[in-house]
Structure 1
Amino acid sequence: MEAASLENLRVLHHSADYIVVNKHWDVRIDSKMWYEKLTVQHQLKRRFPELADPVTYYGFRFCHQLDFSTSGALCVALNKAAAGNAYRFFKERLVTKAYLALVRGTVEEKEMTVEFAIGKNTTEGKTHMMCIEGTEACENPKPSQTVLRVLEYGTYEGEPVTKVLLQPLTGRTHQLRVHCSAVGHPIVGDFTYSLGKDNSPYRMMLHAYLLRIPLPKEPIQVIAPDPFIPDTDAKWEPQRTVQTVEGAMEAVFEEDAKDQTPKESGRVERQVSPEETEEQRARCQQWLCEWSLD
């Protein structure tokens, strides 16, 4: 991807109801700070001024979040009805997401399911971070689940790294970053969860590769091109392939097809939630209007 600018917005999908863009790394989705002009919000307003909705705070209804440092597929709803439809699919965990990452070290297990519960870190100076259950000052940890599949072994700037495909089965804040760190393989360039030590790469190596929303009238399945290839970054040198991205994606789709069947004990199931409470309905209405951060 070229350097981020207001004019440089890569569109992966565009219809009357949705836009999916390939978000740059180190770019915020939106900002209330008047001086922060390079955001996805401002890129959309520059590219599609006629589609901005003046009744919303940000002009566009973002269906989900990507961290500032993460690149890849990001979905935007273009009207309130489309936002409501997408909201329900995210709420019921019917959306499939897969991420590519380079992680530090050699991941021995070719496939693993990481199940550390994740909560808020209340330690002074670390309140912007999340933590796993059992960590000191970890508040309100919630069940979390990530499937990790090894793709390639190699080096980055001469240090051993592993290229992996990450499939989050839950949607906790910083989940992939926390889970990778918890198993001893932090994401390359993750300044926050390396406690400021991993600061030499030009970006954090985490990319939202697949976004699949099985909407009845307009199913969305978008792939944001893989940025972790030697032609893009010569410091990444693959040495041994375990499986291709395409092969790993087949496993993702197979897992996704089983989601409607009961899982063994301990697995996170995707089932229809009970009827919404008044509080949940109110939160949904707020989300439809201006994109809630929750």
Structure 2
Amino acid sequence: MTPIDILYSDDDIVVINKPSGLLSVPGRYEPDSAVSRLQQQFGTILVIHRLDMDTSGILVFARHKPALANVQRQFEKQTTRKVYEALVHGQLPGTRGCINLPIIVDWPNRPLQKISHSEGRYALTRWQRLTYENGNTRVALFPKTGRSHQLRIHMQQAGHPIIGDTLYGPETDRQQQRLCLHARELDFCHPVSGDALAFVCPPPF
């Protein structure tokens, strides 16, 4: 078992770089997860937010309930700063843009999500083109909301699904080694000291 890449830890929080392919929390049939591995090392670990199993990058966990409540409140009030990096199919036109499409779970096809203008929940993603690479586009993604699969379905709806996306991408992506989506940056305030914390973790693709 590969050790978790710990970016920061103290008595209140633990910040990690989660690898692609590892669950954030234990699943119904899969006990191995970031939480279960951290619990072996730190004892109590409380979940503040999650990343899809296929998404890699920065995750913060709390080590006690006051820290959990504090950082969760920062996420709810959208005072945190989150930046993702992705490789998407094709050449995304323009240098920046905004995708505002409401999302709801596709119940007959769970865990898929879908766009629904009548029932979906508000979801907003801003994007900025970084480079063109071999006919594809590297982008920075700035989600204002945190809906399940938000970045994946928004890029698919924009006509440029994320490379390696086995849920929303083309059939050929099933042969890709991984989903090219990574939580690159996370800024928030320490739940006890109040100090501003800023983490940067470059993508492995």
Q: What TM-score, normalized to structure 2?
A: 0.92
8 Å Cα contact 1:191-1:199 kept in structure 2: yes
Cα distance in 2, alignment partners of residues 107 and 10 from structure 1: 32
8 Å Cα contact 1:104-1:185 kept in structure 2: yes
The 3 A distance-change label for structure 1 pair 32 and 167 is: closer
1:32 offset after TM fit, Å?
Answer: 4.8
Partner of 1:194: 169
State which of 103, 108, 124 in structure 2 corresponds to 1:145.
124
State which of 104, 125, 130 in structure 1 corresponds to 2:113.
130
Between structure 1 and structure 2, the one with the greater Rg is: 1
AA partner of residue 189 (structure 2): P
AA partner of residue 62 (structure 2): A
Partner of 1:38: 32
Structure 1 residues 24-35: aligned runs within 5 Å: 24-33=19-28
Q: Percent identity?
A: 30
Indicate the structure with greater strand content. 2
The one-character-per-residue Cα deviations of 1:58-81 (angstroms, maximum 9, x if unpaired) are xx1021010010000000101111
Cα distance in 2, alignment partners of residues 174 and 196 from structure 1: 18
AA partner of residue 91 (structure 1): E
State which of 43, 65, 74 in structure 2 corresponds to 1:52.
43
State which of 64, 74, 77 in structure 1 corresponds to 2:49.
64
Cα distance in 1, alignment partners of residues 80 and 189 from structure 2: 7
1:45 offset after TM fit, Å?
Answer: 2.9
AA partner of residue 121 (structure 2): K
Gaps of 5+ in 1: 54-59, 229-294
1:37 offset after TM fit, Å?
Answer: 4.4
Partner of 2:18: 23
State which of 70, 75, 89 in structure 2 corresponds to 1:90.
75
Cα distance in 1, alignment partners of residues 91 and 54 from structure 2: 23
1:218 offset after TM fit, Å?
Answer: 3.3
AA partner of residue 83 (structure 1): L
1:116 offset after TM fit, Å?
Answer: 1.2
Cα distance in 1, alignment partners of residues 61 and 171 from structure 2: 32
Structure 1 residues 143-292: aligned runs within 5 Å: 143-155=122-134, 160-194=135-169, 196-215=171-190, 217-228=194-205
Aligned length: 203
Partner of 1:273: none
8 Å Cα contact 1:120-1:140 kept in structure 2: no
Q: Secondary structure at the match of 1:178?
A: helix
Q: Secondary structure at the match of 1:202?
A: coil
8 Å Cα contact 1:13-1:222 kept in structure 2: no
Cα distance in 2, alignment partners of residues 120 and 72 from structure 1: 24
1:164 offset after TM fit, Å?
Answer: 0.4
Cα distance in 1, alignment partners of residues 27 and 160 from structure 2: 34
Q: Secondary structure at the match of 1:199?
A: helix
8 Å Cα contact 2:26-2:36 kept in structure 1: no
1:226 offset after TM fit, Å?
Answer: 2.4
AA partner of residue 223 (structure 1): V
What RMSD, in angstroms, separates the aligned Cα atoms of the two structures? 1.7
The 3 A distance-change label for structure 1 pair 36 and 127 is: closer
